[in-house]
């Protein structure tokens, strides 16, 4: 397992010596010439251990140790001192240092001390991961619903959770695809290993390959050190590729190879690395349409679609709205120090009539707002946002009159899409990021839809 170690010393030769000695042990070494530089490195990189000199100009070792213990309390620090005095050693241990080494130091002694500190760090990380996974296990209760369509989802999760099959989760934005992915991982045969989630639409295209596969130092401008990619981070565990339909075609071939051959190549490194990863992908796009339009590789689609699980929209599981709303009111109310006994019948009816284009995410946002404005233990109809009732006034969310069929389905759907986007922009006062969140899509998808539909935001905001 690769570890990242930060060496802090104002003597460049000593930094180079330590970097050379430590890099033999599968360790990536970062260096800093003073305490302020070290803090900047800690803010940008995932460091497992700091080895710091005791005396340095500016921010010295004791001051840096105090800052690290304040900002990164679980990060072990080994202090170096040229004096080897008991006074300095005792003081550093009292201030939270893991251990100390005296200059000049023996390489074997250094290796032993560093290995102990890294083992300590690994134990802390494992404990953090187990606590997080326990929290996730408790959150599985939020996979709430007893409708026939959702029972099919629960049955699919139970069928596939113990296998290593690649899974493709499909459905509209906000239907809970990441939560389902976490449920599969948490209740599967890799539950004690990492769960790593990547939003393919949120990472700039130029950085996506490095993010997935990692890179070697100097591979491109800004690659100041080796970086481990998401595939290696998820080794032996689960890699969740959200919004896989937004992945650039150039990268899709490399993802396909990683899935087929279980090997990756970091950017700038010709050496192959074996990985053992269970992949769960998710999309709100119709990938078959994307394949037909040459926007998605057909071979990658079939490699991902080994075990498809379609997630129903919330409007297709109306009977689940009330229990989901009660669950959100309980958890969100508790977080805000409020206690709610439920919703009034009128409030539940209003929520049942609404079409929920943003699905479960929109319902959660709606309930969160209601818990803020509600003054009593029961959430009333007037505590709900006004847009729920605007939909009801227009026919309870029905988009076309009964018995009518649009002559041009694409144009009709585009008009519906435009209506929702304009409503979201109006509600968010023209803030595009907020509008995208309201209707449960990524900012990247939102910008694409604005361009496709010819919507100019400066004509909407007054």
In this predicted model, what pLDDT tens digit does every residue of 135-166 receive, in sequence order?
544 444 458 888 899 999 999 999 999 999 99
Pinpoint the residues of the chain covered by CATH 1.10.8.60.
315-393
Instruction: Give the per-residue pLDDT at 107.
Output: 82
Pinpoint the residues of the chain covered by CATH 1.10.10.60.
409-459
Of the pLDDT bands very low, low, confident and very high (cuts 50, 70, 90), residue 100 is confident
Instruction: Give the per-residue pLDDT at 288.
Output: 94
Of the pLDDT bands very low, low, confident and very high (cuts 50, 70, 90), residue 86 is low
Instruction: Give the per-residue pLDDT at 137.
Output: 46
Q: Where are the alpha helices (DSSP H) in 45-104?
A: 61-71, 86-94
Pinpoint the residues of the chain covered by CATH 3.40.50.300.
148-312
77, pLDDT greater than 80: yes
CATH architecture of 315-393: Orthogonal Bundle (1.10)
Torsion angle (degrees, nearest 10) of CA 401, 404, 406, 412: 10
The whole-angstrom separation of Cα 368 and Cα 297 is 40
425, pLDDT greater than 90: no
CATH of domain 148-312: 3.40.50.300
Name residue, tokens 């490699």: 303
For 156-211, what is each residue's pLDDT tens digit?
Answer: 999 999 999 999 999 998 899 999 999 999 889 999 999 999 999 888 877 888 88
CATH architecture of 409-459: Orthogonal Bundle (1.10)
The whole-angstrom separation of Cα 226 and Cα 30 is 9
Pinpoint the residues of the chain covered by CATH 3.40.50.2300.
3-127
Instruction: Give the per-residue pLDDT at 412.
Output: 66
The whole-angstrom separation of Cα 398 and Cα 105 is 76
CATH of domain 3-127: 3.40.50.2300
For 383-402, what is each residue's pLDDT tens digit?
Answer: 998 888 865 444 444 444 44
More confident: 407 or 182: 182
Instruction: Give the per-residue pLDDT at 407.
Output: 58
Cβ pair 409, 326 in contact under 8 A: no
Q: For residue 166, say if its preceding peptide bond is cis, omega within 30 degrees of 0.
A: no
- Enter the pTM of the model: 0.59
Task: For residue 46, give the DSSP letter.
Answer: -
Instruction: Give the per-residue pLDDT at 397.
Output: 45
Query: How many CB atoms are closer than 10 A to CB 220?
Result: 13
């Amino acid at each position: 397992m690769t570890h990242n170690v930060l060496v802090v010393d104002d003597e460049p030769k000593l930094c180079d010596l330590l970097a050379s000695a430590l890099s033999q042990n599968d360790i990536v070494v970062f260096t800093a010439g003073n305490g302020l530089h070290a803090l900047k490195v800690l803010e940008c990189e995932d460091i497992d251990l700091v080895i710091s000199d005791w005396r340095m100009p500016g921010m010295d070792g004791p001051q840096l140790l105090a800052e690290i213990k304040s900002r990164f309390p679980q990060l072990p620090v080994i202090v170096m001192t040229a004096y080897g005095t008991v006074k300095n050693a005792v003081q550093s241990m009292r201030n939270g240092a893991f251990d100390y080494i005296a200059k000049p130091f023996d390489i074997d002694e250094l290796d032993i001390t560093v290995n102990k500190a890294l083992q300590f760090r690994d134990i802390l990380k494992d404990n953090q991961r187990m606590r997080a996974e326990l929290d996730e296990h408790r959150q599985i209760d939020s996979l709430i619903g007893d409708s026939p369509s959702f029972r099919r989802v629960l049955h699919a999760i139970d069928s596939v959770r113990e296998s290593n099959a690649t899974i493709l989760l499909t459905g509209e934005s906000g239907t809970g695809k990441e939560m389902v992915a976490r449920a599969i991982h948490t209740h599967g045969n890799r539950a004690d290993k990492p769960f790593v989630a990547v939003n393919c639409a949120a990472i700039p295209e130029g950085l996506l390959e490095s993010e997935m596969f990692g890179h070697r130092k100097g591979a491109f401008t800004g690659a100041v050190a080796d970086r481990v990619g998401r595939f290696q981070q998820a080794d032996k565990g689960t890699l969740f590729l959200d919004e896989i339909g937004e992945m650039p075609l150039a990268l899709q071939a490399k993802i396909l190879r990683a899935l087929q051959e279980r090997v990756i190549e970091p950017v700038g490194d010709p050496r192959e690395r074996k990985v053992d990863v269970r992949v769960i992908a998710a999309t709100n796009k119709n990938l078959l349409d994307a394949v037909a339009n040459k926007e998605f590789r057909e071979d990658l689609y079939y490699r991902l679609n080994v075990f498809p699980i379609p997630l129903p929209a919330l409007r297709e599981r109306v009977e689940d709205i009330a229990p989901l709303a009660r669950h959100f009111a309980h958890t969100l109310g508790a977080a805000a120090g409020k206690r709610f006994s439920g919703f009034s019948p009128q409030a539940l009816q209003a929520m049942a009539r609404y079409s929920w284009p943003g699905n479960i995410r929109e319902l959660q946002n709606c309930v969160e707002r209601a818990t803020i404005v509600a003054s009593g233990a029961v959430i009333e109809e007037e505590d709900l946002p006004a847009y729920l009732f605007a939909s009801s006034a227009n026919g309870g969310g029905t988009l076309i009159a009964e018995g009518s069929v649009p002559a041009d389905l694409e144009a009709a759907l585009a008009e519906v899409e435009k209506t929702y986007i304009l409503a979201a922009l109006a509600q968010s006062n023209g803030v595009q990021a907020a509008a995208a969140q309201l209707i449960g899509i990524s900012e990247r998808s939102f910008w694409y839809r604005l361009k496709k539909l010819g919507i100019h935001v400066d004509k909407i905001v007054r």
